[in-house]
A and B are shown apart, each in its own frame.
Chain A
Amino acid sequence: MSVTITPRAAQRVQQFIAKRGKCAGLRLAVRTSGCSGMAYTLEFADTTQPEDLVFESNGVNVLIDKKSLVYLQGTELDFVREGLNEGFKFNNPNAKNHCGCGESFTV
């Protein structure tokens, strides 16, 4: 019962954080928008907020606010390469449907 980051994704995140300099961690969140209702956001975090829960996974500090956590329980963040395109991917067991492009989902 938490959110995890795969070793491959963690390594990438650490690289990006190292290049960026100061960083409190990686913020995962869910917000209501997009064609299927919910969308993921993935941001650098400069500060921790009071409502944040902080996890550590493979050496990366993960910040999630309580509201988002409901939708993200058990999610695994991976870094994948699809053809020339590479980037982060949410493997979320709560998501029931994705919109065609996969940028938003419903629970």
Chain B
Amino acid sequence: MALLHIAEPGMSTAPHQHRRAVGIDLGTTNSLVASVQSGTSAIITDATDHALLPSVVRYRVDGQIDVGQAALAHAHIDPANTIVSVKRFMGRGINDFQPSQRLPYRLVDAPGMVAIETCLGRKTPVEMSAEILKTLRRRAEAALGGELAGAVITVPAYFDDAQRQATRDAARLAGLHVLRLLNEPTAAAIAYGLDNSSAGIYAVYDLGGGTFDMSILRMQRGIFEVLSTSGDAALGGDDFDRRIGEWLIERAGINDLSPQNLRVLLSLARRIKETLSTQEAMRITLPFAGVSAAEFVLTQAQLWALTQDLVSKTLAPVHRALRDAELSIDDIDGVILVGGATRMPHVQRAVAEYFKQAPLTNLDPDQVVALGAAMQANKLAGNHHADDWLLLDVIPLSLGIETMGGLVEKIIPRNSTLPVARAQEFTTYKDGQTAMSMHVVQGERELVSHCRSLARFELRGIPPMAAGAAHIRVTFQVDADGLLSVAAREQSSGIESAVTVKPAYGLSDDDIARMLTDSQTHAGDDMVARALREQQVEAQRLLEATQAALDSDGDALLSKVERSEIATTMSLLKEDMHGADAQKLHQSLDALNRLTTEFAARRMNRGIQRALSGRHIAELGI
């Protein structure tokens, strides 16, 4: 006998047509799954009533794969085959990880994305994430009594296209139909926004296990819009654990820790952190033999002093997000706390002091993202009632195209709301040019070499025309999921070429925060570099055009003196072109331009003469 749930008026589904949809928070430390039933979004717990599934996968020698608590329990016994915080590897190349990070895994450089060598062979982060998603899917199907129609999976707002695509691939591998990828802060806002039906501008402060993510959202007439995002991809609750761990090591006089004992120590540190969020002090007993002191007491105040700098470190991205949104603290109507680490009282106090108001904490910060995702999934699956809301997200980094000289022409500026489409016209650089190479890049810098390469494709079959005569329209389109498609079309012939960015995984990747800071610190150099490159491109073009003119008409139209003068100026320009002085290059460029003006005029006259000679005036139709 099937079990029923209460539907909204008029929204009862026909038998066998229940569209079971879930929201999944695929977190760095923990993952959750939630769904809307009887009009209420709720977390789906496992058979033992646990809501959180530790995002840990363990590959066992006997061929079995453990996920969650079972895997976590073996993390310190079998560290090389037990992968924690898989999310940090998603869409990343091996160069994104410094040896100094001391990961207990055997990282291997696989095409496109880093992989990990385990006892069951080489596994990619996509496969590992899929194991976590599979576990959540099975849990949800058992609880909802049937196959899932689809899922909304949340990703950090700073995830780039490669990381989003990797998340989609993982879902597909786990047999989940992805209704949409949703930014985590937006999901949190949905969870709060609908429950409290409030309008205004909100700050979402998300301090998770391994990442800090700050977003400014606007809610208006039921519409959510992300105004700006910023964050720190290497700051989270784990850093607090490590700080406590270091304190324990120092106090207990431990010299050397095996990887196993390090894990034991860190899980003890996490327990201390959690306990001291609600208690004033805690008695700690170290589970190691042979340490100089094994028992001591840590107070809340001590813990705060120990980790205050980590809390302060979160405030810079907060400030940046506000500045990007062009808002001040007074504009913020509310602050939403997300992530287990925001349970710590000194974090809440710091946020409250910064924003001059108490943050919203009435939903469980560990669950709020999954709850919001479930509400969104329910709506996308067609189970939602009439008062619809729409979602607007932003792109985290500008998208653009490479132009001559390795310069970036930005087509869609960062923080544009999604979905978005922008077009711009380009033209050919050489006479008779029939093909154009399109290079799609992401980033804030002026030179392609400083940005991230996303895709390359070619537009072929352009009809031969003079340089600059072709109209090539390049259209960038980013859909609601943040995936990009680029099309190029030659307007006169209608030939077209397009690419849907199957983003290159982890290609010479940098983290977004750094790319943004770099674009600020290098703003000056970038401007100079751009000016120089522009001059170089122009110089190259002029040299080629002059050479071609000399070859065809040089003997007939120029005296020996004139010709050698032009040759000298050309070689001067060639020299300056390879230098770094934009000013000097500009002068030589001007010199050659002036010197060849007369030559160009003579060529034009001769061309006209040729066209007219020997023809009757009537033929010309003047």
Contacts from A to B (Cβ < 8 Å)? 12-13, 16, 19-20, 26-27, 29, 31, 33-35, 39-46, 80, 82-90, 98-99, 101-104
In the complex the two chains form, what is the Cα distance from A71 to B411 in whole Å?
A: 63
Partner of A85, one of B6, B39, B40, B144: B144
**Chain B, range 124-176, C-beta contacts under 8 Å to A:** 139, 142-145
In the complex the two chains form, what is the Cα distance from A34 to B143 in whole Å?
A: 23
Pick 21 A–B contacts, CB within 8 A, sort by A.
A12-B38, A13-B6, A16-B38, A34-B14, A35-B16, A40-B4, A41-B12, A43-B8, A44-B7, A44-B9, A45-B9, A82-B3, A83-B142, A84-B46, A84-B142, A84-B143, A85-B143, A87-B37, A88-B3, A89-B3, A103-B2
Q: Is the CB of B9 within 8 A of A27?
A: yes
**Chain B, range 20-57, C-beta contacts under 8 Å to A:** 37-40, 44, 46-47
Q: Is the CB of A41 within 8 A of B7?
A: yes
Q: How large is the interface on B (under 10, 10 to 19, 20 to 34, 35 or more residues)?
A: 20 to 34
Q: Is the CB of B5 within 8 A of A103?
A: no
Partner of B3, one of A29, A44, A46, A85: A85
Most central of A27, A43, A46 by chain B CB within 10 Å: A43
Partner of B39, one of A39, A44, A87, A90: A44
In the complex the two chains form, what is the Cα distance from A35 to B17 in whole Å?
A: 12
**Shortest Cβ gap from A106 to chain B (Å):** 13
**Chain B, range 521-545, C-beta contacts under 8 Å to A:** none
In the complex the two chains form, what is the Cα distance from A33 to B17 in whole Å?
A: 11
Partner of A34, one of B6, B16, B39, B139: B16
Partner of A43, one of B9, B143, B144: B9
In the complex the two chains form, what is the Cα distance from A42 to B15 in whole Å?
A: 12
Chain B residues, CB < 8 A from A82:
3, 145
Q: Is the CB of B15 within 8 A of A26?
A: no
In the complex the two chains form, what is the Cα distance from A35 to B39 in whole Å?
A: 26
Q: Is the CB of A34 within 8 A of B15?
A: yes
Q: Is the interface of B mostly helix, strand, loop or mixed?
A: loop
Partner of A84, one of B16, B38, B47: B47
Q: Is the CB of A89 within 8 A of B1?
A: yes
**Shortest Cβ gap from A29 to chain B (Å):** 8
Given contacts A20-B39, A84-B139, A89-B4, A103 and B12 within 8 Å (CB-CB) = no
Chain A residues, CB < 8 A from B37:
87
Q: Is the CB of A16 within 8 A of B39?
A: yes
In the complex the two chains form, what is the Cα distance from A31 to B157 in whole Å?
A: 45
Given contacts A101-B16, A103-B15, A86 and B6 within 8 Å (CB-CB) = no
Q: Is the CB of A16 within 8 A of B16?
A: no
**Shortest Cβ gap from A92 to chain B (Å):** 10
**Shortest Cβ gap from B100 to chain A (Å):** 44
Q: Is the CB of A42 within 8 A of B145?
A: no
Known contacts A44-B7, A82-B145, A89-B1, then 13 further A-B pairs from the complex at CB < 8 Å, ordered by chain A residue = A16-B38, A19-B39, A26-B6, A34-B15, A43-B7, A43-B8, A44-B8, A44-B9, A80-B3, A84-B139, A89-B3, A101-B16, A102-B1
Given contacts A16-B39, A19-B39, A87 and B16 within 8 Å (CB-CB) = no
Instruction: State whether the Cβ of B306 lies closer than 8 Å to any Cβ in chain A.
Output: no
**Shortest Cβ gap from A32 to chain B (Å):** 10
Chain A residues, CB < 8 A from B16:
34-35, 101, 103
Chain A residues, CB < 8 A from B38:
12, 16
Name which residue of chain B comes closest to A47, CB basis. Answer: B9
Chain B residues, CB < 8 A from A13:
6
**Shortest Cβ gap from B345 to chain A (Å):** 28
**Shortest Cβ gap from B387 to chain A (Å):** 13
Q: Which 7 pairs across A and B sit closest by C-beta, in order of nearness?
A: A87-B3, A34-B15, A102-B1, A103-B15, A41-B12, A84-B143, A84-B142
Q: Is the CB of B142 within 8 A of A88?
A: no
In the complex the two chains form, what is the Cα distance from A90 to B14 in whole Å?
A: 16
Q: Is the CB of A88 within 8 A of B15?
A: no
Chain B residues, CB < 8 A from A88:
3-6
In the complex the two chains form, what is the Cα distance from A58 to B69 in whole Å?
A: 41
Instruction: State whether the Cβ of B63 lies closer than 8 Å to any Cβ in chain A.
Output: no
Most central of B1, B2, B47, B142 by chain A CB within 10 Å: B2
In the complex the two chains form, what is the Cα distance from A34 to B18 in whole Å?
A: 12
Chain B residues, CB < 8 A from A12:
38
Name which residue of chain A comes closest to B47, CB basis. Answer: A84
In the complex the two chains form, what is the Cα distance from A42 to B9 in whole Å?
A: 9
In the complex the two chains form, what is the Cα distance from A43 to B15 in whole Å?
A: 14
In the complex the two chains form, what is the Cα distance from A85 to B138 in whole Å?
A: 12
**Shortest Cβ gap from B424 to chain A (Å):** 49
Name which residue of chain B comes closest to A99, CB basis. Answer: B15
**Chain B, range 421-473, C-beta contacts under 8 Å to A:** none
In the complex the two chains form, what is the Cα distance from A26 to B10 in whole Å?
A: 12
Q: Is the CB of B142 within 8 A of A42?
A: no
In the complex the two chains form, what is the Cα distance from A40 to B3 in whole Å?
A: 11
Chain B residues, CB < 8 A from A102:
1-2
Instruction: State whether the Cβ of B284 lies closer than 8 Å to any Cβ in chain A.
Output: no
Instruction: State whether the Cβ of B11 lies closer than 8 Å to any Cβ in chain A.
Output: yes
**Shortest Cβ gap from A51 to chain B (Å):** 15
**Shortest Cβ gap from B10 to chain A (Å):** 7
**Shortest Cβ gap from A23 to chain B (Å):** 10
Q: Is the CB of B15 within 8 A of A104?
A: yes
Chain A residues, CB < 8 A from B145:
82, 85, 87
Chain B residues, CB < 8 A from A26:
6
Chain A residues, CB < 8 A from B7:
41-44
Chain A residues, CB < 8 A from B14:
33-34, 39
Name which residue of chain B comes closest to A24, CB basis. Answer: B9
In the complex the two chains form, what is the Cα distance from A48 to B239 in whole Å?
A: 57
Chain A residues, CB < 8 A from B10:
43
**Shortest Cβ gap from B438 to chain A (Å):** 51
Q: Is the CB of A46 within 8 A of B6?
A: no
In the complex the two chains form, what is the Cα distance from A20 to B14 in whole Å?
A: 23
In the complex the two chains form, what is the Cα distance from A43 to B9 in whole Å?
A: 5
